[in-house]
Amino acid sequence: MTTSSRYVVGLALAITGFGLMSLPAMAQSKDAEPATRAVNDGFVKALPFNDRTDFDDAKRGFIATLADGVVAGPGGKPAWDVKPYDFLKSDQVPPTVNPSLWRQAQLNAIHGLFKVTERVYQVRGLDLANLTIIEGDSGLILIDPLLSNETAAAALDLYVKHRAAKPVVAVIYTHSHVDHFGGGRGVMSEADAASGKVKVIAPDGFMDHAVAENVIAGNAMSRRAQFQFGSALPVGDRTQIDTGLGKALSKGTISLIPPNDLIKQPYETRTIDGVEMEFHLVPGSEAPAEMLIYFPQFKLLNMAEDATHNMHNLYTLRGAEIRDGRRWSRYIGDAIDRYGNRVDVVIAQHHWPMWDNARIVSFLKKQRDLYKFIHDQTVRLLNHGLTPTEIAEQLKLPPSLSNDWASRGYYGTLSHNAKAVYQFYLGWYDANPADLNPLPRAEEARKEIEYMGGAEAVLKRARDDFKTGQYRWVASVMSKVVFADPANRAARELGADALEQLGYQSEAATWRNAYLLGAAELRGGVQKSNASTASADLLKGVSLDLAFDFLGVRLNAAKAEGKHIVINWTFTDLNQTYVMNLENSALTHTAGKLSDDADTSITLTRAALDAITLKQRTFLGSVLTGDIWVGGNPLKVRELFGLLDDFSPDFEVVEPRKAKVE
């Protein structure tokens, strides 16, 4: 059990950047090729770069920022540092960055404390998300306390320094993604939340979704998140410049203070410290548990993360449940119908505000129609029999959307969102029987390269294609050579060169990050990490059912073949019992029961279990100190946990696995 700690919290901690690889291979980065320069020049000609309205909005109401731009973090390293992004102040776009993405990165680099309207402030650019501050009659109402405690505390301190030192009376979580609640302990104490002194409000289902999404498949999500966010990449004009939603993920300490007030009805009104709020639940939009907030006193609408200044993800590259574009669009439409004629300011928990009713309604309508277009047109084409790749290649936004900066694909893309809609309705199978049971990737690659005349012949032709700018094809075919023979240095280098050019061309920050990290790993390999990612706060949020389910995910079926083990679990502080049963190479559990035929029985508290999972204590040590009582045959416990796999957080992505998985 002690080996499971870093996986229990999954993505929520891996994305912070702790223990991620350093990349000496990035020194081998190359310049933009002529074909890349031509692609990027095309963006300059196609898009309305003379429209500077977003820059005016992003700077409006500026009060102050951190003097040195640094927020101290754990271990003597910064949790946040804006200085490495100073190169973005130049309006001379380097050829290694898509000009549209450069513009978005410049906007996201604007940081500090801003006045939005009377009694409403935001701290932006000091983490991936925004901290919104509402001035109540006697205290402060905070919305979304960022990703980590250190940045949340620094953001609140910045406000206090330039406004007033009022107590925090309420904290609101708009949705269940960690960059919107992870800094809770930086702005309130757990005791104040538990006592109700600080009202902590969240949408119904928040706690379940805040941890569940990242547990079962958390290790894989964590590794994939490195590619999406570019956490392992250095900052620079040939490497990481942005994430689309914001600059980067802070590298501080993550917490989770549970809510003490849930919004359960589609529309609910609360008045807190003299501030009236109408909450609008929008589950299954950008997050499984999410809500919008309207403030009638200020004529201000907070769209959480359902309407931001880019195309969002219907499918996130780190991996998660597909989001329903039809439902997402409908929620935005509902907000327009309900609030459209009485809103003067719209904010979100990423990016910058917008003022003026006519502009706001136009913006919301385009966001509504953006997600409906992606949904409807993808479904139209799949009903014509087109496959995901064919749809992604064919689908184009209408000019009314493609020329709108807030509809550009800096985070999500039209390509992978269209594939998401296809998957939402039809799954992974394209209905061609030849694709029903293909060979494993490495085996298929060896046969393909053999059919093509061998690696040298493929390399020769690929080098010619690289010269003509066919980087998508070169990256694909070199990946096949690498999977056929990962030791082929020439294929790795040419594949890296192709991925790098694709990264330089990418308008989406997420695609750029993925391409450039892929290039780095082809050149330098996967650098191992060794840091612990356990978090006591997040671990407390994991239900016992989910914790036991995760043990089942770790069970190695081959090792468990023919074994039958039954264990009783009694949690004295929770008054809960469980029977865990290993049989037929499957680990199941039943709540509320104990078995008369158990091999062993374990009596403990949830705190004792958490201490073991966090590696603060060993199982044996807890038995010796009396924190855990074991009856029956204790060797059966050891036998069961000896059947569980440990997951590597550094598994191979751009090359075949070096170690065979049984």
- Give residue-wise pLDDT tens across range 492-512: 999 999 999 999 999 999 999
In Å, the largest CA–CA distance within the chain is 76
Q: Name the token pair of 391.
A: 């749809």
Q: Does the domain spanning 438-501 belong to CATH 3.40.50.2000?
A: no
Q: In the chain, where are the structural domains located?
A: 53-417, 438-501, 543-641
Fold match flag (438-501 vs 543-641): no
| Separation CA 290–CA 279 (nearest Å) | 10
At residue 610, the pLDDT reads 87
Q: Give residue 530's pLDDT.
A: 53
Element spanning 489, H or E: helix 489-505
Q: Within 13 Å, how many C-alpha atoms sit on residue 384's CB side?
A: 10
Per-residue pLDDT at 27: 52
pLDDT for the residue numbered 529: 66
Identify whether the C-beta of residue 141 lies closer than 8 Å to the C-beta of residue 272.
yes
Q: How far apart are CA 405 and CA 603, in angstroms?
A: 58
- Could you give the CA distance from residue 11 to residue 61 in angstroms, rounded to a whole number? 35
pLDDT confidence of residue 542: 86
Residues 388-410 have pLDDT tens digits of 999 999 999 999 999 999 999 99
CATH superfamily name and code, 53-417? Metallo-beta-lactamase domain (3.60.15.30)
Q: Computed from CA positions of residues 133, 409, 12, 158, in that sequence, does the dihedral angle turn out positive or negative?
A: negative
| pLDDT at site 28 | 81
**Which residues, in sequence order, are CB contacts of 42 under 8 Å at separation 6+?**
none
| Contact assessment for residue 330 and residue 23, using Cβ atoms and an 8 Å cutoff | no
**Residue that the structure tokens 């900052």 belong to:** 235
Residue ranges, the chain, pLDDT below 70: 1-27, 529-535
Determine the pLDDT at residue 80: 98
Q: Distance between CA 88 and CA 289 in Å, rounded?
A: 35
Domain 543-641 CATH class label: alpha beta
